[in-house]
């Protein structure tokens, strides 16, 4: 089991000159600590226009700062939105490759398609098309990285032969992931040889069954790139405190804040009826997970809030389902003071990580060259 | 925290329906034909038009709806509604800012049962192969023409018609009543959203459309059930919502 941290970069009102700067600087301080104490990955989303919920529209910039300020933690660029109105695929490939270079070959590359009308409508993207454009992009980008020159005649973009530069430091290319935005996306991932990000199903039993099916299907995949990333990562919240009741209380306050901010957004399914978005997406899945029936401690099953022993118990359930990694959200709208977030991270590293084999071992994917 | 509505509830209650019961007889409404367009709207106006209990959605939008009810306990009628989509806590709801009905008995019953604040006018729905058109006129002037252009068949399971919130007077206080019909779809289409005509002042003046989202055109068996939830218009919905016990 590996543990990562995960950023939306949520910024509460009022948005004075310091508000966003404080959130970014606090996050970078957390990333530096996470790097020192043995977290494996830091992920930052790409979102646009999501007031308060996420002010992380240029994750490659934030992640470049993360890379420059750390030594070993892997850099999760994701998910990058694979919709042409948001990003040209060449620009995605170029930015990701540059990030891989400056991080010394630490890039994890996450892909997705956005699930909010706030974003899709803002860019005038057609929700019917986003799965299709995602598919075209994820097949093309590894070729841009591995072929000296690349040309393409597709539905969502076409281009004459050009050298897409730079090439990633990791050879043949960084691991590729897809965010779980709808039921069945884990099988899209498996069939393409990609890791699945954000595995949060209704129950542990369902998770276990879907993990098994993912493992079965990825054995026979037709990979989009030159490597297969046979990995499933779940998303969770973290607040770890020596006193369990206090940990649950503060952690659940953070979760409720996250839920409330996410609930203000216009989900694609709400505004634009389409088969392409049968559910409200990862935000809603994460909300549902966090809003599940609470145990006697007041925390829903599977959520990593409370004291170290309780958190170990919850995370062992995910491990038993076959999940390989858990990415943890540390704060929401600066609801938890920065010193407490850092204490929570440190306590997690000291007392929870040792209970999981391999939690601090380097992944070994980094180190480019041929 | 998210932005909250800034409606002066006391002032708005002056023109609101006085509700005498929260336990009306439910209506079955089979075979309703519905055309609804959603369009983004000017933010500041939306904030000013919804009560402090609610948050404007991000971005704010409104729905423009014309429904033909071929059967109801008061006979056939048409109903047009303009609603600002907001959040009650985290739940999307349409806050009613204006409604027109083409039948006096329907207007009376809708007000008494569910707090619909309607005026009586001419409301019609035209179904063509290239578009569904809902039209509303008052005093001889067209005040709304809502169009679902180039309707394409979709699965009714993908359509999400939001529950409504009506600001009423009840037992001397302001109250928001949630109206949450069920829909069983016989046909569902999605098309381009157009407002051929929209006269803001005929709908309270707050809704200023900007950018079109999408339109739906459906045939559905629906209902008007007994209200299940009410909320205090002046308190955040997460604190001020109350479930009504079945009588």
pLDDT number for residue A369: 40
Mean pLDDT value across residues A101-128: 97
Q: pLDDT-based confidence at A183, cuts 50/70/90?
A: confident
Specify if B78 maps to a domain: yes
A270–B contact, CB cutoff 8 A: yes
CATH of residue A266's domain is 3.20.20.30
Specify if A369 maps to a domain: no
Specify if B146 maps to a domain: yes
pLDDT number for residue A365: 52
Q: CB-CB: which of A270, A274, A278 is closest to B92?
A: A270
Specify if A351 maps to a domain: yes
Lowest model confidence (mean pLDDT) among A1-5, A85-89, A292-296, B34-38: A292-296
Which positions in chain A touch B159 (Cβ < 8 Å)? 273
Q: Is the pLDDT of residue A282 over 60?
A: no
Specify if A36 maps to a domain: yes
The 10s digit of each residue's pLDDT in A288-345 is 556 555 677 888 889 999 999 999 999 999 999 999 999 999 999 999 999 999 999 9
In this structure, which long-range contacts are made by residues B234-240, counting pairs with CB atoms below 8 Å and at least 24 apart in sequence? B234/B9, B234/B51, B234/B52, B234/B53, B234/B174, B235/B52, B235/B53, B236/B4, B236/B52, B236/B53, B236/B89, B237/B53, B237/B54, B237/B87, B237/B88, B237/B89, B237/B91, B238/A260, B238/B89, B240/B53
B189–A contact, CB cutoff 8 A: no
The 10s digit of each residue's pLDDT in A234-251 is 999 999 999 999 999 999
pLDDT number for residue B129: 96
Contact A272 B2 (CB under 8 A): no
Q: What is the mean pLDDT of chain B?
A: 96
Nearest CA in chain B to A116: B58
Q: pLDDT-based confidence at B239, cuts 50/70/90?
A: very high
> CA distances (Å), B96 to each of A138, A275, B93, in order?
44, 29, 9
Q: Select the more confidently predicted residue: A104 or A357.
A: A104
Lowest model confidence (mean pLDDT) among A104-118, A263-277, B49-63: A263-277
Q: How far apart are CA A37 and CA B99, in angstroms?
A: 61
Q: pLDDT-based confidence at A48, cuts 50/70/90?
A: very high
A271–B contact, CB cutoff 8 A: yes
Range of the domain at B130: 9-242
pLDDT number for residue A366: 42
Contact A266 B89 (CB under 8 A): no
> CA distances (Å), B246 to each of B166, B171, B225, B227, in order?
20, 19, 11, 9
The whole-model pTM stands at: 0.93
> Reduced to 3 states, what is the DSSP secondary structure of residue B72?
coil
Contact A264 B58 (CB under 8 A): yes
Q: Are strands B209-224 and B183-198 parallel, antiparallel or unpaired?
A: antiparallel
B142–A contact, CB cutoff 8 A: no
Mean pLDDT value across residues A349-359: 93
Specify if B204 maps to a domain: yes
Q: pLDDT-based confidence at A370, cuts 50/70/90?
A: very low
Specify if B84 maps to a domain: yes
Contact B2 A121 (CB under 8 A): no
The 10s digit of each residue's pLDDT in B34-74 is 999 999 999 998 999 999 999 999 999 999 999 999 999 99
Specify if A343 maps to a domain: yes
A263–B contact, CB cutoff 8 A: yes
Mean pLDDT value across residues A98-114: 97
pLDDT number for residue A362: 62
Q: CB-CB: which of B2, B158, B238 is closest to A275?
A: B158
Specify if A361 maps to a domain: no
Q: Select the more confidently predicted residue: B188 or A296.
A: B188
Nearest CA in chain A to B193: A272
Alpha carbon of A272: minimum distance to chain B alpha carbons (Å): 6
pLDDT number for residue B182: 97
Specify if B64 maps to a domain: yes
Specify if B2 maps to a domain: no
Contact B214 A272 (CB under 8 A): yes
pLDDT number for residue A367: 41
Specify if B4 maps to a domain: no
Specify if B36 maps to a domain: yes
Q: Is the pLDDT of residue B147 over 80?
A: yes
Number of domains forming the structure of chain B: 1
Number of domains forming the structure of chain A: 1
A69–B contact, CB cutoff 8 A: no
Specify if A144 maps to a domain: yes
**Beta-bridge partner residues of B135:** B124, B145
> CA distances (Å), B214 to each of A182, A219, A270, B52, in order?
22, 41, 11, 28
Q: pLDDT-based confidence at B117, cuts 50/70/90?
A: very high
**Beta-bridge partner residues of B136:** B123, B144
CATH of residue B80's domain is 2.40.400.10
Mean pLDDT value across residues A114-143: 97
């Amino acid at each position: 089991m590996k543990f990562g941290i995960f950023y939306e970069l949520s910024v509460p009102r009022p948005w004075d000159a310091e508000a966003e700067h404080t959130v970014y600087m606090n996050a970078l301080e957390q990333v530096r600590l996470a790097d020192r104490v043995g977290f494996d990955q830091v992920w930052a989303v790409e979102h646009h226009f999501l007031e308060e919920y996420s002010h992380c529209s240029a994750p490659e910039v934030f992640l470049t700062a993360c890379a420059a300020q750390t030594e070993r933690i892997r850099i999760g660029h994701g998910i990058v939105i694979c919709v042409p109105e948001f990003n040209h695929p060449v620009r995605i490939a170029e930015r990701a490759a540059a990030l891989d270079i400056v991080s010394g070959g630490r890039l994890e590359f996450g892909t997705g398609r956005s699930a909010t009308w706030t974003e899709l409508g803002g860019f005038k993207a057609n929700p019917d098309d986003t799965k299709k454009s995602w598919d075209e992009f994820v097949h093309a980008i590894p070729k841009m990285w591995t072929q000296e020159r690349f040309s393409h005649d597709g539905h969502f973009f076409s281009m004459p032969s050009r050298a897409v530069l730079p090439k990633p430091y990791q050879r043949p290319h960084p691991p590729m992931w897809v965010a779980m935005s709808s039921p069945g996306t884990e099988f899209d991932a498996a069939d393409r040889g990609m890791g699945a990000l954000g595995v949060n199903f209704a129950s542990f039993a369902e998770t276990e069954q879907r993990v098994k099916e993912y493992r079965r299907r990825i054995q026979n995949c037709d990979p989009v790139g030159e490597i297969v990333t046979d990995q499933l990562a779940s998303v969770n919240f973290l607040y770890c405190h020596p006193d369990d009741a206090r940990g649950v209380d503060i952690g659940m306050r953070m979760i409720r804040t996250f839920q409330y901010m996410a609930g203000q957004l216009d989900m694609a399914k709400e505004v634009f009826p389409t088969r392409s978005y049968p559910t409200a997406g990862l935000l809603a899945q994460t909300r549902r997970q966090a809003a599940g029936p609470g145990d006697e401690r007041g925390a829903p099953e599977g959520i990593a809030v409370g004291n170290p022993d309780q958190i170990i118990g919850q995370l062992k359930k995910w491990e038993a389902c076959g999940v390989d990694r858990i990415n943890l959200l540390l704060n929401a709208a600066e609801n938890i003071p920065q010193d407490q977030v850092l204490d929570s991270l440190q306590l997690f590293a000291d007392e929870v990580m040792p209970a999981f084999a391999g939690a601090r071992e380097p992944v070994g994917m980094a180190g480019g060259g041929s | 925290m998210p932005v909250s509505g800034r409606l002066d509830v006391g002032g708005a209650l002056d023109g609101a329906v006085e509700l005498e019961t929260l336990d009306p007889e439910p209506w079955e409404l089979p075979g309703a034909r519905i055309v609804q367009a959603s369009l983004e709207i000017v933010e500041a106006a939306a904030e000013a038009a919804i009560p402090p209990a609610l948050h404007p959605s991000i971005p704010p939008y409104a729905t423009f709806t014309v429904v033909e009810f071929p059967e109801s306990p008061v006979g056939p009628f048409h109903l047009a509604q303009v609603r600002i989509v907001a959040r009650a806590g985290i739940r999307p709801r349409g806050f009613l800012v204006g409604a027109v009905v083409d039948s006096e008995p329907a207007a009376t019953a809708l007000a008494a049962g569910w707090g619909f604040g309607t005026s009586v006018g001419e409301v019609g729905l035209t179904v063509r192969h290239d578009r569904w058109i809902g039209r509303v006129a008052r005093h001889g002037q067209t005040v709304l023409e809502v169009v679902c252009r180039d309707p394409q068949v979709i699965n009714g399971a993908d359509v999400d018609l939001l529950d409504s919130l009506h600001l009423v007077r009840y037992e001397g206080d302001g109250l928001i009543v949630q109206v949450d019909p069920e829909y069983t779809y016989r046909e569902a289409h999605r098309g381009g959203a157009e407002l051929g005509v929209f006269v803001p002042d005929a709908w309270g003046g707050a809704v200023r459309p900007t950018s079109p989202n999408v339109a739906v055109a459906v045939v559905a068996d629906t209902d008007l059930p007994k209200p299940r939830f009410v909320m205090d218009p002046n308190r955040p919905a997460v604190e001020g919502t109350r479930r009504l016990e079945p009588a």
